[in-house]
Each structure stands twice: as C-alpha cells, then as structure tokens.
Structure 1
Amino acid sequence: MGAMTGLSGTTATRASTEWWRSGVVYQVYPRSFADSDGDGVGDLPGVTARLDHVQRLGADAVWLTPFFRSPQADHGYDVSEYCDVDPLFGTLADADALVAAAHERGLRVIVDLVPNHCSDQHPLFQAALRPGAPERALFHVATSADGPPNDWPSVFGGPAWTRLPGSDDWYLHLYAPEQHDWNWREPRVHEMFRGVLRFWLDRGVDGIRIDVAHGLYKAEGLPDLPEGYAPEPMRLRGNPHACDQEEVHDVYREWRRIADSYDPPRVLVGEVNLSPERAARFTRPDELHQAFAFALVSAPWDAASWAETGAELLRTARPVTWVVENHDVARVPTRYGGGEHGLRRARAALLAVLGLPGAAYVYQGQELGLPEVDVPEEARQDPAWFRSGVTRDGCRVPLPWRQDPSTANGFSVAGESWLPQPEGWGELSVALQEADPASTLHLTRAALRLRRTLHEEGLLSVDDEVEWDARDGVLTARRGDFALVVAMGDGPVALQGDLLLSSEPLDAAGRLPADAAAWVRA
C-alpha cells in the first residue's frame, strides 16, 4: 500500500499542525468498545460504526489501544506481529477503513505501539529459543545455575525472570512471562521499530502512543536493585535499573525526526510513569510531543493536593497532557468514594482537567460516569490478577450503548460480552443519557464544545499562566479572565463572575454545591 497523508483537505487547513498542544483525545479500548461480529469482543469495524459518538462529543482524536496480532495474554500488549491486525479485531483493510472514516469526521487517529516487550509467540523470540541462535541478542537472556540472574521483580508480581526449559538460561520479562523485553542495546531492534513506525504512519495514522516509553533500555550489566529498594505495585518506575536510562532519549530523537518528516507532522505520545520532573525530560523540543500527566491519577480529592500537583506539572512541562482515568486504573467515580457521591466528584474532575491549559485525554465510558465494576473472580482475565492479586478488569467492562441485556446493552450483536456487565449496566447507557439533559454525557459534550469556543475566542490559550488557590477546601485556577472553581470541601461556594458551565446546578442562593466544579468568566 502506498504512503497516505494524515488528516487532510479543508480540515487540515482549519486545524493547526500543533493541534495536540490543546487537543482532547478520546481513548478507545477496542475489545470493550463495540462488537460488530457477535463473538463477544469489540473490534475495529465496531469502532468505525461508533465514531459518530466520538465526533458528537467534540474530541479532536481517538487513541486506540493495541489491535495488532497477539495471543492476547495481556489483551494486545503482547504483540506477535506489529504490522498486522489480529483477526480478533479485523483486518488491515478494517484499520484503513477506520482511519479513513475518522478523517472524514475531522478526527485524528493515534495507535498504540509497544516497543518495550513482545509476545513469546513473536517469530524472533521463537527463533531465540534455539541455543546459540543469533536472535538471542535481541532479548535479555542470561545464564545462571543458581536462580534468576538478578533480583528484579515483575510489575505484575513475582520475579522478572523465567528459565528457558531444559537449560540454565533465563529471559527477562518486566511484565507477564509471555512478554519478553527487547534488548535495545542491539541495533537490529532499532531498525525493526523504525520500520514499524513508518508502516503505520504511511497508512495515515496521525500519531503514535508509546507504551512504557520510559522503559526500553536497562542498566548495563543488569545489576541487582539498590539497597533499600521497595517495589512499587504495578509501577516500573520503582526499579531505577529497568527504566529511565539516559540512552532512551536518543530513540525518541530519532523517532521525532521520522514523525516530523511527514506532512502534516505526526505526533508522539509517551506513557512515561515517572515523577513530573523526570517525565518532562521526555518532551524536550526534539523528543516526544506529549507525556501523560499521571500525577493527578493518584492525587486525593483535596484542593491543596490538586493545586500543588497542578502547579508542579505546569512548572515542569508545557503543554501538560491532563488525565485522571485510563484502562489501567480504577474508574474515577469509584476512586472518589463511589455511588452518587463519587459520581459528582468524577463529573467535577472531568470539568477540572478540561479547564486547565494543555491537552486532555478522556477514557471511553468516562463521558458516561461509569464506575469500577467488581468483576467476579472466576471471570477475571487480567494477567496481573493471577500473579499479584491486582486486577484492571473492572475498568475494562464493555460499554453500554442502550438498555438491552439481550445484546449486552448494545455492545454486541449477539449479546456476548468478554467481561460480564453488572446488573443495571444499561441504566448508564449512551441512549438513556442522550435523553437526559443533566447526564454526564451531555455535560461532557457541553464542556468540549465550550472549551473549543473559548479557545477560538481567545479567552483561553494553551500558554496561559495559572494562579492557584486552595483555601477552605476550594480549588481555584485562574487563567486571566477565566477561572476554574472546584468545591472540594463540605459546603457550597459563592462564585465571583459570570457562570459559563458547572458540573451540578447552583443552589437557591446561586452557590456552587460541594463536590462540583464551575467555569467562570470574571
């Protein structure tokens, strides 16, 4: 297939090539979005059929988590062929059709590349199983008769090493045993991934999200952990020898040159789960365009914490890529207390991140206020669950499109669902929220529409300086004549200025109720 341009025509004329600096990206987890063929697993044609939903939200782009060929040991993050689509999700033609349909709607497409590790079924790892095979240099294989070569833990629990059958050779897997870490000190790995990058950019995708972007390189000699090391559950950053090595920056400088060679330039987005200061080093002018601002994901519902975290993020990296929810963490309504209480806070948090300068990512279902699901143990599929007792399945339950259990609430034409939907899931569906002007769906649409208008009118800019205040449990972030106000205390808050939008109705006295957010024009 010949090279294709990305988003083009009149849409590209209207849009800045730096759309990503203030863009809103909608994250799609394909296996849980929409199932077109009735096998209980979402697929690319299902995504294409539902792109109108994303367009109506007002997003600028969609990010698709991996749909490449994979045995699905980690639901696509264990890739066996980077330049093809897994039959579970469709075909390359389906991927091309999705990109074309998105571009017709003015939506850009970001695909998810996994360069830190691959599947144990990848042909190169299969070849590396042969003793003395040259492919072994592509991975981290070490010989030790006395147990694992070092004391590194897997992010998913247990040791990060597994012995090859019938030998004293061990291979490194910082995640599941089926996910083998590439050796980025081997030039052939660089060459392979340059080809993968160009393959998808040539097909017209507008950007690449890079999984475990701070990984790739490991410390020379693979030394034991520093004395006093305490593992951080489900986080690679706690192992200083397994990530954040200086050499990784040269990879992204090279990839940036490739991305910039396209017209319009493509965007590189990094999953860099480090401190804000360390993560900022990945978004220097000649490296990645964005790195997710994960600090708010772990921030408690507290005005002082949010003000401190937001100020640090804006001080260390601009523009910030705000996010409070994704496919790896518990849903926001549940994290913030659950029930109606948690939902109010989740709506306020959504309005908050959309009211701060920079880009924002919205995870599918966040626009519906979906809570975390307690998936029955016998139905759980997350590989982390089987090794550490931590599961991410609860935030990956398929979306409810309409209230109809016979079709998995509109998810599947045959009513199947790879993870079970809880009773009453359809009551949170897109269709029912469409009919409710006070729903989270309508709030999300209104916020994205107003956000775009305020940027076009010049009231908001991605370069705005922010004045933070966190007195009396009230978070205030002022940007010139615009203010974001979040009532994080126990009582209502009097607003100063003209109300533009609020996550909850004002009370009879015109005050913002507790656990609500508002946008105000001075």
Structure 2
Amino acid sequence: MATEPDSGTRPTDLVPEEERAWWKEGFVYQIYPRSFNDSNGDGIGDIRGIIQKLDYLDDLGVDVVWLNPVYDSPQVDGGYDIRDYRAIHDEYGCMDDWEELLEGMHDRDMRLIMDLVVNHTSDEHEWFAKSKRGEDGYDDYYWWRSTGGGLPNNWTSSFGGPAWTYDVDRGQYYLHLFHSKQPDLNWENPEVRGDVYDMVDWWLSKGIDGFRMDVINLISKNPELPDGHPGGWTGMEHHTNGPRVHDYLDELHDETYGNYDAMTVGECIDADPERAKRFCHPDNGGMSMVFHYEHMMLDFRSDGGWWEVGDWSVGDLRDVISRWQRELEDSEAWNTIFLGTHDWPRIVSRWGDAQHYRRESAKLLATFLFTLQGTPYLLQGDEIGMTNFPFERIDQIRDAETRGRIRFILDDARSRSLTELERVALEDEGFQRVKDIVRYRCRDNARTPVQWSDDAQAGFTDGEPWLAVNPNHTEINVEAAREDPDSVWHHYRDLIDLRSDSDLLVYGEYGLLVPHHDRVWAYERTLGEQRAVVVLNWSSESATVGGLDLGPEPSLVLDTHDRTNGDGHAEPLELDPWEARVYRTQ
C-alpha cells in the first residue's frame, strides 16, 4: 500500500478542529487521462504519462487529483462504460503503473480520488452477459422489461432517443439512461448492491482517498417505471432523486467510505441546496459535497434545450451561486466551486471572452474559483486558459453525446416534429449550419489534448493524437505560460498560494456586497476579525462601482491588472474589462 500524504494543519483558533477537513482546504485538479500526456506515442494519454508530469502538478500546487475512469472499458463513453471495475484499461497501462502513480502522488502530499460509476456498467461487463442469459442470481441485475408491443415507457436517454434497447438474445428491453451500451444496474437487487460495495471497499483498501460519484442520484428508480412528463429529459421525475436513493447511499456509506478518511463528491443532477444538505447529512449518505448543475444550466433554453443557447447575465450567475453560498452555511454540506469539467465546454470560452480578452477573463474566472467558500475544481488545461476547439467537420468529433444527438435527429426525422435548428442538420450541409452550437456545446472541447508546448501535437504525443490538438497550441501552452510571469498559469499559482495560506478564504463566511450591478460582482469573506473583499468586473467593458466599504488602509493583495501605481483603492472603483481584485481589509 502506498504511503499516506501529510494532512497538514493551519495555526489558527478561529476554526474548530472538528470543522476542518483536508478536502475543504485543498483544491482538486481533474485529469482526463486519455488527453493528459501520452508516454508511448500511440496518441492516447496514459498512466505513465501522468507519472511523468507529477512534478508539474506538484509545482502548480495541486492537493487532490480527480482521475477520470482508467478501468477496463470499450471506451464508448470515455471510460464511463466499465467492463471490469478491478482492472486497468490496457491503453492506459496496468495495475503496477496505477500503484506507482498512487505512490508518487502520496510521496508529494497529493491525494487521489477515482471516478465511481455504479449507476450503469458496460454491456460487455460479465454481469450483463450473465443477466442476458438469465443465469441464476443475475436475472434482475439490470432493468429488463417485456412488452406486448412498443417500448416499456416513454423515458429518453440523456444522449438522445429512447432509454430502452431491445436485446434479441433475451427477448426483452433493457433500460439505459445514457448510451445503449451503458445498461443501468438494478439497485433494487441487494446482490447488486453487495457486489458494488465489495468493489468500492477494494479500491479504498488499496489506498485511494475517495471518489467522485458519477450521476449517483440516479441509482434509485420508481420500480413501476411509469411514463414521464413529455419534454426535456423525459422520465426524469421517476429516476432522479428516486424513492430509495437515500437508503442506498446511507448503506453505501456505512459499508464503504464511512470507514475511511475519504472525500466523496456526488454528481447530483437536479440538486438544489436542500437536496444537497440531505445528501451530505450523515444519515442520508454522508457525502462530503455534491456537484450541482443549477448554474451550469443557465445557458440552456427550456424550449430549445441542447440545440439553442440561452441568454445569461452575471446577475443570473451571482444569484445562483450566492444562494448556494448562503444556504449551505452552517450545514453538513460543503460547496463545490467549478465552472467546467470534462462534460462541459472550456470555461474561458463559455464564461469569459476567449476572442478579445482570453488572458484577462481566464484570470478573473480563476479568481472566482479560488475565493469563494467551497472546494475549487480545475480541469486540466484550464490553468493555462485553453479554449474551445474550432470544429469544422463531424468526423472531428468523438463525443458520444454530441454524435448521439446528431444521429437521433437524422434517424428520427420522419417520426416527429423538429425545431428549425434540428431540421437544418438534415440537409446536405447540415453540420455546417449547426457547427456553431456544436462548437459551443460539444464535450470534446474539454477533452482535446493538453497543450504542453508549441511543438507538433502540442508536446502531448509523438504519434497521431486520438483527438485533434487545438491549433492555437502554438500560442497557448504550458511551456510558454510558465516562462511568462503575467500568464494565466502564474495567476493560478498566486491564487493557490493565497488560499493555501488563508483560513479566511477557506472557512470564512460569504457576504454579497453589490447585489444588482449589471457587470460587477463584489463579495466579502469574513472570519472573526479577518475580512477580504473580492471585486469582479465580469464583462468586456469597463465598469464603475461605488459604495464598497474597504475599511481603513485596505491592502490590494491580488489584482489581474497589476495596479502598482496605487489607484486600486480609489472610490468609486474604476475597473478595466475582466478586472478582478482581492483586498484584505479590516
């Protein structure tokens, strides 16, 4: 077993020891292994490639690594279709490589959390093969249904199309809330739960430090499988936050991670603060924190869904995040602070201005992530301000969700009414007509190889990469960023230092200071007599904000625009586009 990293303590009496936790005080760096670093030239990132970059992660100041799935998988959905939970996918390496990675992280005082994917498996998992054959003990490991004709219900897959596929061998339909090659496990069956718990405990006993729990609030379905209300993700009210979800999570906690000093973050679709508090309560699963998507859905229009981008404002984002900050205060739940993961576009392309103010807006987003109450999450490449990919052809896309949505439009055109955007996708040059929305939404934006240098293939591989490298890697890359003291990378490094030295920015209370400004978001963090004020001009225009009480002799401890001439304290504050400031004030 690998050595454990040092826990570390902070010399202050303002935060009781029982309220502290290593997963509150650190930040999480997400590694999508297929795109991180390729060690053997086959064009696919691998575990030895991560090992080669451990010193880089240490230099950046990474505390926790969230490693996307490296389990044995057919790779239909980026490894979230697991064929064997206790084996490493051969393109990524072997178990010896993984054990060396864990030891190398712990030697550098970094912790490792793994993806836990137990709502579904691959259809190539031995459980599914046995279930298809109706073997004793496996007959109802998954959701199988016979019908007199038609589908069992009207539920839809998140990837487009019906959530049911007919299996010829068994002569029944099986449920899959995602890809048809990702059948949903039947958690109603106690044998399923027992096998899952054994697997979870096996990984924890190997020394990992916790789990990111994939779509964990989908594991309980209404066993009657009734039709759902049409529109959106049809059936969601019957499979999200289902009737026994807290029973299952409580049991999972007691049988596995509750017996370890483990971090658990649950991906919880359709979660609000009240639900988050329930999921994190010791009697309802006791997770450390949840990923919620309330702010991540601000640019989805209810009528157009995935195919149309809705308008959002800094005020909308401010309202959502401020509510979560306030309502999780003094509760068992802890906030997650993130703007993107492997499932969303690059944060500077979505939340900033990648075209005109890439560097400035990337720094502002970094300041936001590291100055709110909660654990910050950072996807690989965001530390240098990587941007979305300029897709030109559908054959450049590997993302199963995007391809599934386009395929569903083409396959189902004759059987339903279509929106205008969906109709143009049917035309000969349909992709060219919808490529702007695909460029905006496609998950591959976050999965293009990390841009290490301006070399061919961005220094990611010596071979042909599995997914094309962004052409802008000649300007945006780690090597150039580390050499430039004014880069996005160095701004993240300064923020990591600032937060790691400050209980105030970790445990301090959040207070909104300017509730209605159309460009500026200003808030304070307070802990005892300590106080910080954060001011963000979330726009591509200059802004003025007055009435901020900075106290006597405020200290400007961090600013994206290097205001060394002393004008950072003037009242009212005059802010450049995408300027962010952090004051220490009394």
- Name 1:515's counterpart in structure 2: 578
Matched residue, 2:341: 326
Residues 307, 468 of structure 1: 8 Å contact kept: no
What is the CA–CA distance in structure 1 between the aligned matches of 2:271 and 2:211, rounded to whole Å? 22
Residues of 1 paired with 2:7 and 2:279: CA distance?
Answer: 27
Taking a change above 3 Å as real, the CA distance of residues 104 and 329 of structure 1, as seen in their structure-2 partners, is same
Give distance in 1, aligned partners of 2:53 and 2:451: 12
**Counterpart position of 1:52:** 55
Where do residues 410-425 of structure 1 align in structure 2 (5 Å cutoff)? Answer: 410-412=459-461, 414-425=462-473
1:42 Cα shift? 0.4
Aligned partner of residue 310 in structure 1, secondary structure: helix
Alpha-carbon distance between aligned partners in 2 of 1:76 and 1:298, rounded to the nearest angstrom: 24
Find the aligned partners of 1:33 and 1:76 in 2 and give their Cα distance. Answer: 14
d(CA) in 1 for partners of 2:293, 2:27 = 16
Contact 1:483–1:519 (Cα < 8 Å) also in 2: yes
The AA in structure 2 aligned to 1:231 is G
Indicate if the aligned counterparts of 1:273 and 1:279 stay in contact, CA closer than 8 A: no
**Residue 444 of structure 2 corresponds to residue 393 of structure 1:** yes
Question: What secondary structure is seen at the aligned counterpart in 2 of 1:179?
Answer: coil
**Partner residue in 2 for 1:487:** 537
After superposition, where does 1:374-453 map in structure 2 within 5 Å? 374-375=390-391, 376-389=393-406, 391-405=442-456, 408-412=457-461, 414-453=462-501
Confirm whether residue 128 of structure 1 aligns to residue 137 of structure 2.
Answer: no
Note if contact 1:22-1:360 (Cα within 8 Å) is conserved in structure 2: no
More moved, 103-112 vs 508-517 = 508-517
> What residue identity is the alignment partner of 1:103?
H
Structure 1 pair 398–422 and aligned structure 2 pair: CA distance change class (3 A) = same
1:12, distance to aligned residue in structure 2 (A): 2.9
* TM-aligned CA deviation for residue 242 of structure 1: 1.4
Q: Which amino acid aligns with 1:329?
A: W
- Of stretches 35-44 and 330-339 in structure 1, the one that deviates more from structure 2 is 330-339
CA distance in 2, matches of 1:260, 1:242: 25
2:247 maps to which of 240, 246, 250:
250
Mark the CA change 1:434 to 1:342 in structure 2 (over 3 Å): closer, same or farther.
closer
2:257 corresponds in structure 1 to 259
- Match for residue 272 of structure 1 among 247, 268, 271: 268
SS at structure 2 position matched to 1:397:
coil
Residue 106 of structure 1: CA displacement?
Answer: 0.7
Q: Residue 340 of structure 1: CA displacement?
A: 2.8
* Equivalent position of 1:71 in the other structure: 74
Give me the whole-angstrom Cα distance separating, in 2, the residues matched to 1:50 and 1:362.
Answer: 16
Pick which of 161-170 and 49-58 moved more: 161-170
Give the secondary-structure state (helix, strand or coil) at the position aligned to 2:198: helix
Distance 1:115 1:479 in 2: 38
Give a deviation string over 1:11-70, Cα, whole Å, max 9, x none.
Answer: 235488711123210000000000111110101111111122221222210000000000
SS across alignment from 1:443: helix
**470-479 or 499-508, which moves further after superposition?**
499-508
Unaligned residue ranges in structure 1 (runs of 5+): none
Is the 2:372–2:510 Cα contact (8 Å) retained in structure 1? no
Residue identity matched to 2:189: E
* CA-to-aligned-CA distance 1:168-193 (integer Å, 9 cap, x gap): 41011110010000000000111111
Whole-angstrom distance in 1 between the partners of 2:271 and 2:206: 34
Any residues of structure 2 matched to 1:365-376 within 5 Å, and which? 365-375=381-391, 376=393
Give me the TM-score of the superposition, normalised by structure 2. Answer: 0.81
Q: 1:460 aligns with which of 505, 513, 521?
A: 505
Instruction: Map 1:8-47 to 2 at 5 A.
Output: 8=5, 11-12=6-7, 14=9, 18-47=21-50
Does 2:121 align with 1:118?
Answer: yes
Note the alpha carbon deviations across 1:96-146, whole angstroms, 9 max, x for none: 111100011110000001000000100111112225754230000100131
Kindly state the Cα deviation for residue 393 of structure 1 after the two structures are TM-superposed.
Answer: 1.2
Spell out the pairing of 1:90-239 with structure 2 (5 A cutoff): 90-131=93-134, 134-165=137-168, 168-226=171-229, 229-232=230-233, 239=236
Q: For residues 179 and 350 of structure 2, what CA distance do their matches in structure 1 show?
A: 26
DSSP 3-state at the match of 1:294 = coil
8 Å CA contact 1:401, 1:426 repeated in 2: no
Maintained 8 Å contact 1:138/1:182: yes
1:273 Cα shift? 2.1
Instruction: Provide the rounded CA distance (Å) in 2 between the counterparts of 1:166 and 1:294.
Output: 38
Conserved? CA contact 1:493–1:514, under 8 Å: no
| 1:60-101 Cα shifts (integer Å, max 9, x gaps) | 100000000000011100000001111111111111111100
Find the partner of 1:306 among 310, 317, 320: 317
SS in 2 for 1:340: coil
Contact 2:159–2:405, Cα closer than 8 Å, also in 1: yes
1:499 aligns with 2:556: yes
**8 Å contact 1:7–1:206 — kept in the other structure?**
no
Separation in 1, partners of 2:210, 2:119 = 18
Report the residue type matching 1:211 in the other structure.
D
Where structure 2 has 5 or more consecutive residues not aligned to the other structure, the ranges are: 11-16, 300-311, 407-437, 569-573
Residues 1:341 and 2:357 are matched in the alignment: yes
Whole-Å Cα distance in 1 between the matches of residues 294 and 359 of structure 2?
20
Structure 1 residue 386: deviation in Å? 2.4
Q: Give the AA of the match of 1:142.
A: R
Report the Cα offset of residue 155 of structure 1.
0.2
Contact 1:219–1:245 under 8 Å retained in 2: yes
- Cα displacement (A) at 1:279: 3.2
One-letter amino acid of the structure 2 residue matched with residue 150 of structure 1: N
| Contact 2:371–2:505 (8 Å) recurs in 1 | no
Cα deviation for residue 360 of structure 1 reads 0.9
Aligned partners of 2:326 and 2:510 also within 8 Å: no
Distance 1:77 1:138 in 2: 18
- Distance between the aligned counterparts of 1:154 and 1:316, measured in 2? 32
In 2, Cα distance between the equivalents of 1:303 and 1:6? Answer: 44
- Higher deviation after alignment, 184-193 or 470-479: 470-479
Give the direction of change, closer, same or farther, for the CA distance of 1:100–1:167 in structure 2 (3 Å limit): closer
Deviations 1:183-208 (A, max 9, x none): 00000111111111111111110011
Task: Answer yes or no: is the 8 Å Cα contact 1:79–1:118 preserved in 2.
Answer: yes
| Counterpart secondary structure, 1:460 | helix
Q: Distance in 2 between matches of 1:99 and 1:219?
A: 39
CA change 1:316–1:87 in 2 (3 A) is same
2-structure distance, mates of 1:453, 1:177: 48
Larger mean CA deviation between 496-505 and 317-326 belongs to: 496-505
**CA spacing shift, 1:5–1:452, aligned 2, 3 Å:** same
- State the 1:504 CA deviation: 3.0
Q: Residues 329-364 of structure 1, C-alpha deviation per residue, up to 9 Å, x if partnerless?
A: 111121134313355333212211210112111111
Q: Distance in 1 between matches of 2:179 and 2:89?
A: 20
- Letter of the 1:476 partner, please give it: A
Deviating more after overlay: 491-500 vs 348-357: 491-500
Question: 1:282 and 1:147, CA in 2 relative to 1: closer, same or farther beyond 3 A?
Answer: same
Q: Check the 8 A contact 1:335/1:342 in 2, yes or no.
A: no
User: Quick one: which amino acid aligns to residue 399 of structure 1?
Assistant: V
Aligned-residue offset at 1:437: 0.8
In the alignment, which residue of structure 1 is the partner of 2:419?
Answer: none
Give 1 or 2 for the bigger CA radius of gyration.
Answer: 2
CA distance in 1, matches of 2:2, 2:471: 45
